[in-house]
Amino acid sequence: PEEDRALETELRADPKELAEHVMLVDLGRNDVGRVATIGSVRIPEQMVIERYSHVMHLVSQVTGQVAPEHGPAAVLRATFPAGTLSGAPKIRAMELIDQLETSRRGFYGGAVGTIGVDGSMDLCIAIRTLVAEGERFRTRAGAGIVYDSDPQTEADESRNKARAVLRAIDLARRMFFRRSLL
């Protein structure tokens, strides 16, 4: 608990994390605003700490009332890929991703969930995922890059995220099949 409080204080004071978060919340507001009723975009929760077993995140919630002329497809087009996986400015960032990344992302960063016949949606962003192709497994991971990012730190973060997915799969494989993947 004491270590968690210290880590929370450090996270809340980290200029790089704060700058990245503010940029992404602004991008989220812009994305939601493209399909929301004018004046309905809100941020009911801002920079709240969410704790998980091995990580803490700064979290903000962006909401808006979908304008009557927009259906589920328009909402998806406006909000995916999420700025957290594309960057800002979004269009230019996606162009750079297309130019610089050596393989397609597939469903990584896409939407996973349900869309009801009434237009209701319950979706999440496909991260921390694994693609199985026969006996081969592929995972993707990334980190937020801003002006003052340290390339080694971001590369380490990406590797750690990918390792966590592989460890989870290995644990499941050992539990159910009594053999290790790693």
Sign, CA dihedral 30-35-39-43, equals: negative
Residue 26 has pLDDT above 90, yes or no: yes
| Given the residues 12, 51, 57, 138, the one annotated as active site | 57
| Given the residues 42, 128, 129, 173, the one annotated as active site | 128
Residue 39 has pLDDT above 70, yes or no: yes
| Given the residues 37, 63, 84, 129, the one annotated as active site | 84
Average pLDDT over residues 89-110: 92
Asked if 84 is an active-site residue, the reply is yes
Asked if 128 is an active-site residue, the reply is yes
| Given the residues 87, 109, 142, 144, the one annotated as active site | 144
CA 69 to chain CA mean position, Å = 28
Asked if 167 is an active-site residue, the reply is no
Q: Dump pLDDT digits (tens) for 105-162.
A: 988 999 999 999 998 999 999 998 888 888 888 899 888 888 888 899 999 989 998 9
- Split at pLDDT 50, 70, 90, the class of 181 is low
| CA–CA distance, 39 with 46 (Å, rounded to integer) | 18
Q: In the structure encoding, which two tokens stand for residue 84, read together?
A: 């957290």
pTM: 0.81
Q: Dump pLDDT digits (tens) for 41-59.
A: 999 999 999 998 778 999 9
Asked if 70 is an active-site residue, the reply is no
Residue 171 has pLDDT above 80, yes or no: yes
Q: Among 13-17, 76-80, 167-171, which range has the highest average pLDDT?
A: 76-80
Instruction: Report the candidate in 144, 150, 135, 74 with the shortest Cα–Cα distance to residue 109.
Output: 144
Name the pairing type of β-strands 130-133 and 136-139: antiparallel
3-state secondary structure the chain: CHHHHHHHHHHHHCHHHHHHHHHHHHHHHHHHHCCECCCCCEEEEEEEEEECCCCEEEEEEEECCECCCCCHHHHHHHHCCCHHHHCCCHHHHHHHHHHHCCCCCCCCCCEEEEECCCCCEEEEECCCCEEEECCEEEECCCCCCCCCCCHHHHHHHHHHHHHHHHHHHHHHHHHHHCCCCC
Asked if 110 is an active-site residue, the reply is no
Q: pLDDT exceeding 70 applies to what percent of the chain?
A: 98
Sign, CA dihedral 140-131-27-52, equals: negative
Q: In the structure encoding, which two tokens stand for residue 104, read together?
A: 């397609």
How many CB atoms sit inside 10 A of residue 132's CB?
Answer: 9
| Given the residues 83, 108, 139, 140, the one annotated as active site | 108
